[in-house]
Amino acid sequence: MKSDVEELSPTRIRLTIEVPFSELKPNLDKAYREVARQVRVPGFRPGHVPPRVIDARIGRAAVLEQAVNDAVPELYSKAVSEHDVVPLSQPEVEVTRLDDGKELAFTAEVDIRPSFDLPDLDALSVTVDNAEVNPDQVEEYLSALRERFASLRTVDRAAENGDFVSIDLAATVDGAAVEDAQTTGYSYEVGSGSLLDGLDEALAGMTAGETKTFAAELSGGSAAGKMADIQVTVNSVKVKDLPELNDEFAQSASEFDTIGELRASTRRQLEAVRQAGQAGQARQRAIDALIDQLDIPLPERIVSAEVEHRRHSLQDQLTRAGLTMQTYLESAGTTKAKIEEDFLADARRSVKAGFILDKIASEEAIKVTPEELSAYVTEQAYRMGVAPDQLARQLSENGQLPAVAADVLRGNALTWLAQHARVVDEAGRTVDVSASTSAAADAAADAEDGEPEDGEPEDGQPEDGASDDEAAEGAGSDDTGNGDQDS
C-alpha cells in the first residue's frame, strides 16, 4: 500500500491511498463467500457457489464493490497510523480508480486535531474570590434557617402584604367555567406576585370568608392567553412567626446546644463552601486564560456540530417544559439571532478548551483510573435517577464508554491545570486548590450531620430553604469543551 497526505487546512487533510490489487485478495475472497451464502443457484448448495458462477449470474462488479467497501476502512486506518494523524470525524471517502486486477486508489478527507504549543503552564496565574465569611453573611444564613422553622398563626384581621392566606380560585371566560383553572385551599403569600396579575391587589384588605372578583389573563391551561373573571375567596389569614435566635432554636434546628456553637459551625461551613468555590473558579479561570491566550485553528465542521448539539439541547428543554421557542425568546428578552450568536461563540470556546485539555492530558501523561470512571458513572446515574449498573450497561452497549472516559480525562487535565497554576485571592494571598477541595469535603460532611430535619410546612407554607449567596457564586460549572469529538 502507498499513501500520501495533503494538508488542505490546518485542521483538514486529504489522504491518497493506492493499493495493488493483489492486496485485496482476502477481501475479494470474503466478498465471494458472503455472496455465495446469499444467492440461490440451482445445482449448488448455499455457500458453495463458485466465483466463476457468481461472476456469470450476479456480475463481478457487485463482488468488487463489496470487497472495496470491506477493504477501505482497514486501509484508511493503516494510512492514519502511518502518518500519525488524529482524526476528529468520519472521513469523506472517494474511490478515484478501480482497475480490476491492477489497482485500487481512493482519497479520504478528514478533520484532524490542530497542531499548537502550550505555554509554560507553571507560569499561569489566576485570581479567585476571597473565602472569608463576615458576620453579616452568617446572620443572613441563620435568617434563612429561621424561615425554614417558621410557623403560621391565624389572625382575625384583613390580609396584608407578607401574610399567608388560604384561598379558593375559580375562573370563567365569557361566563363559562374554565375547568382547569379552579382550585381550593391554595396557600398564597400576599404580595409575592407569583400567581396571577391583580391577585395581590384583590387580596389586600380582604378578611376570612370574603369573596371578590377581578379580571386577569390566564397564563396556562386550556384558556391560556385569554382574559378571565377570577373569583377569589379567602378562607383564612395567617402570619408567619419566626423563632428567636437562641439556644432553644439551635437545639431544634441543629445538633448544637447553643446559638454560639451554631454560629461558629455556620461560619466554618460557609467558608468551606467558598473554598470549594475557589477551586471551581481556579479551574474555570485557568482554562479561560489559556483559551484567550492561544490562537488555535478550529475545524468548522466540529464547531458546526457543537452548535447543532446546543440547538437540539435547547429545543429538548423547551419541549419538556411545554414552551415554544417564541415564548422562550419573549421571556428571556432575547432574539433567535442573538441565541445563534451565543451558540457559536460558546461552541468555539468549548471545542478550543477540549483541544487544550486533550493536549495537556497527552503531554503530562494524565490517565483515567477504573475507579474514577466508575465514580463518574455513579454520579451521573444518581443525577439521572437510575441504577449505576444499569447506566454502565447502557453506556457499554451503546459504545459510549470511550466518550465518558474522554470526559473524565479532560476533567483530570483541568484539575491538573488548576493545581499547577499560581492561584491567588483578591487580597493577593496564595490559595491551595487541593487544600480547598479537602476542606470543602470535610465541611460538607459536617453540614450533612448538622442538617435540620425537614418538616411538613403548616397549611402549605412554601419551603423557602436556606439560601446561601456565597455557595451560588462558587458553584459554576466547568466548560471543559466536551463536544462531539473523537478522542
Bigger pLDDT: 45 or 21?
A: 21
Task: Measure the CA–CA gap between 197 and 274, rounded to whole angstroms.
Answer: 39
Among 44-48, 242-246, 249-253, 446-450, the least confident range: 446-450
Q: What's the burial of 426, exposed, middle or buried (CB within 10 Å: 0-12/13-18/19+)?
A: exposed
The answer to whether the CB of 48 falls within 8 A of the CB of 37 is no
pLDDT in tens, 12-30: 999 999 999 889 999 988 9
pLDDT in tens, 356-368: 999 999 999 999 9
The CATH class of the 151-241 domain is: alpha beta
Reply yes or no on whether the pLDDT at 441 is more than 50: no
Q: What is the mean pLDDT of the chain?
A: 86
Classify domain 121-143+247-473 by CATH architecture: Orthogonal Bundle (1.10)
Residue 61 is predicted with a pLDDT of: 86
In angstroms, how far apart are the furthest CA atoms of the chain?
102
pLDDT in tens, 282-314: 999 999 999 999 999 999 999 999 999 999 999
Closest CA to 86 of 355, 377, 281, 313: 355
The answer to whether the CB of 225 falls within 8 A of the CB of 213 is no
Residue 8 is predicted with a pLDDT of: 93
* End-to-end Cα spacing for the chain: 26
The answer to whether the CB of 279 falls within 8 A of the CB of 444 is no
pLDDT in tens, 215-244: 999 888 888 889 999 999 999 999 999 999
Residue 466 is predicted with a pLDDT of: 33
Residue 436 is predicted with a pLDDT of: 55
Q: What is the DSSP letter of 371?
A: H
Domain extent listing, the chain? 2-111, 121-143+247-473, 151-241
- Taking residues 159-170, report their average pLDDT: 95
- Taking residues 470-475, report their average pLDDT: 30
Closest CA to 354 of 404, 411, 392: 411
Closest CA to 305 of 148, 111, 38, 461: 111
Q: Secondary structure of the chain in the HEC alphabet?
A: CEEEEEEEECCEEEEEEEEEHHHHHHHHHHHHHHHHHHCCCCCCCCCCCCHHHHHHHCCHHHHHHHHHHHHHHHHHHHHHHHCCCCECCCCEEEEEEEECCCEEEEEEEEEECCCCCCCCHHHCEEEECCCCCCHHHHHHHHHHHHHHCCEEEECCCCCCCCCEEEEEEEEEECCEEEEEEEEEEEEEECCCCCCCCCHHHHHCCCCCCCEEEEEEECCCCCCCCCEEEEEEEEEEEEEEECCCCCHHHHHHHCCCCCHHHHHHHHHHHHHHHHHHHHHHHHHHHHHHHHHHHCCCCCCHHHHHHHHHHHHHHHHHHHHHHCCCHHHHHHHHCCCHHHHHHHHHHHHHHHHHHHHHHHHHHHHCCCCCCHHHHHHHHHHHHHHHCCCHHHHHHHHHHCCCHHHHHHHHHHHHHHHHHHHHCEEEECCCCECCHHHHHHHHHHHHHHHHHCCCCCCCCHHHCCCCCCCCHHHHHCCCCCCCCCCCCCC
Among 105-114, 299-308, 436-445, the least confident range: 436-445
- Taking residues 69-87, report their average pLDDT: 92
The answer to whether the CB of 351 falls within 8 A of the CB of 485 is yes
| 3-state secondary structure (DSSP) of residue 223 | coil
Confidence of residue 35 (pLDDT cuts 50, 70, 90): confident
The answer to whether the CB of 324 falls within 8 A of the CB of 318 is yes
Reply yes or no on whether the pLDDT at 452 is more than 60: no
Q: What's the burial of 457, exposed, middle or buried (CB within 10 Å: 0-12/13-18/19+)?
A: middle
Task: Measure the CA–CA gap between 419 and 440, rounded to whole angstroms.
Answer: 16
Residue 386 is predicted with a pLDDT of: 92
Phi first, then psi: give them for residue 204, nearest 5 degrees. Answer: -55, 120
The CATH number of the structural domain formed by 2-111 is 3.30.70.1050
- Taking residues 160-174, report their average pLDDT: 95
Residue 435 is predicted with a pLDDT of: 60
Would 2-111 and 151-241 be classified into the same CATH topology? no
Residue 159 is predicted with a pLDDT of: 96
- Taking residues 76-96, report their average pLDDT: 92
Residue 485 is predicted with a pLDDT of: 40
pLDDT in tens, 374-427: 999 999 999 999 999 999 999 999 989 999 999 999 999 999 999 999 999 999
Residue 168 is predicted with a pLDDT of: 96
Residue 467 is predicted with a pLDDT of: 33
Q: How many helices (H) and strands (E) does the chain have?
A: 15, 11
